[in-house]
Amino acid sequence: MNNPYNKHYRQESYFGKPYPGLVEFFENYSNRNVVLDLGCGQGRDALFLGRLGYKVVGVDISDVGIQQLNKAALQEKLQVEGFVADIYSFGITDEYDIVLLDSMFHFYKNDVEKETKVLRRIIEEIKPGGLICNFMQKGNKREKELKRIIKESGVTFEVLLDGYTDYPEYDAEFHMYIIKKLE
Ligand SMILES: C[S@@+](CC[C@H](N)C(=O)[O-])C[C@H]1O[C@@H](n2cnc3c(N)ncnc32)[C@H](O)[C@@H]1O
């Protein structure tokens, strides 16, 4: 499949390690259940979560990223499996307790419509009790947009984490928003 990330992923660990804030949250979260990592890339988060004991399904359109993820998961005998698929049509079934989106949204003008649509679908489809974990580059406008879409969905969530984490590899800060769908 032709994807610009295939070229980036010739470099090992292109995006580096998981953010310290992501590591801290998932190390301390007691329900080690099933995670759907939408846009998992080479699997920096999926493999980390697999090592912690989570079962992870990763989805990405980069076949190169998915091959790398599956190879590492197999070598380490993790419960992590990647699939080449489009996140914009991937169904969020009851199988998934946690949906992870890392660096997938930015709400730029050209993408805001499709990103809003997929976020609305995730909000609707995730089961009650399920978590949506969004990590994106810090930015007042995009954080407001994220929260607006969630609020306007009418679905009630408990906010488990609303904060920032360092991203040492890129000398940047990322916004972490982790919410739980109420029954
Ligand atoms: C910025 S990278 C983030 C990768 C990973 N979440 C991480 O943080 O390491 C964006 C990823 O989204 C994937 N992607 C972009 N559009 C996609 C789509 N429609 N369906 C599935 N994956 C997509 C790209 O191939 C790339 O791996």
Distance CA 178, CA 12 (A): 28
Distance CA 168, CA 183 (A): 37
Q: Tell me, in angstroms, the distance from the centre of ligand 1 to residue 90's CA.
A: 13
Distance CA 146, CA 109 (A): 14
In-domain check, residue 9: no
Residue 8 pLDDT? 96
In-domain check, residue 95: yes
At 17, list the tokens. 């390690």
Distance CA 8, CA 56 (A): 23
Q: Which atom of ligand 1 is nearest to the CA of 41?
A: 27
In-domain check, residue 3: no
Residue 170 pLDDT? 84
Query: What is the residue range of 124's domain?
Result: 30-181
Residue 56 pLDDT? 98
Q: Which of 8, 42, 62, 98 to mutate to test the pocket of ligand 1 (most atoms within 8 A of CB)?
A: 62
Ligand 1 in contact with 115 (CB < 6 A)? no
In-domain check, residue 100: yes
Residue 61 pLDDT? 97
In-domain check, residue 14: no
Residue 1 pLDDT? 53
In-domain check, residue 121: yes
Length of the chain: 183
Q: Which atom of ligand 1 is nearest to the CA of 6?
A: 25
In-domain check, residue 94: yes
Q: What is the DSSP string of 64-110?
A: HHHHHHHHHHHHTT-SEEEEE--TTT----TT-SEEEEES-----TT
At 130, list the tokens. 């399920």
Residue type, 159: V
Distance CA 71, CA 47 (A): 11
Q: Tell me, in angstroms, the distance from the centre of ligand 1 to residue 104's CA.
A: 6
Ligand 1 in contact with 98 (CB < 6 A)? no
In-domain check, residue 41: yes
Residue 168 pLDDT? 86
Ligand 1 in contact with 50 (CB < 6 A)? no
Task: Report the candidate in 63, 56, 120, 66 with the shortest Cα–Cα distance to residue 88.
Answer: 120
Ligand 1 in contact with 87 (CB < 6 A)? yes
Residue whose Cα lies nearest atom 11 of ligand 1: it is 39
The CATH number of the domain holding residue 72 is 3.40.50.150
pLDDT by residue, tens only, the chain of 183 residues: 568 899 999 999 999 999 999 999 999 999 889 999 999 999 999 999 999 999 999 999 999 999 999 999 999 999 999 999 999 999 999 999 999 999 999 999 999 999 999 999 999 999 999 999 999 999 999 999 999 999 999 999 999 999 999 998 888 999 999 999 997
Q: How many domains does the chain have?
A: 1
Ligand 1 in contact with 137 (CB < 6 A)? no
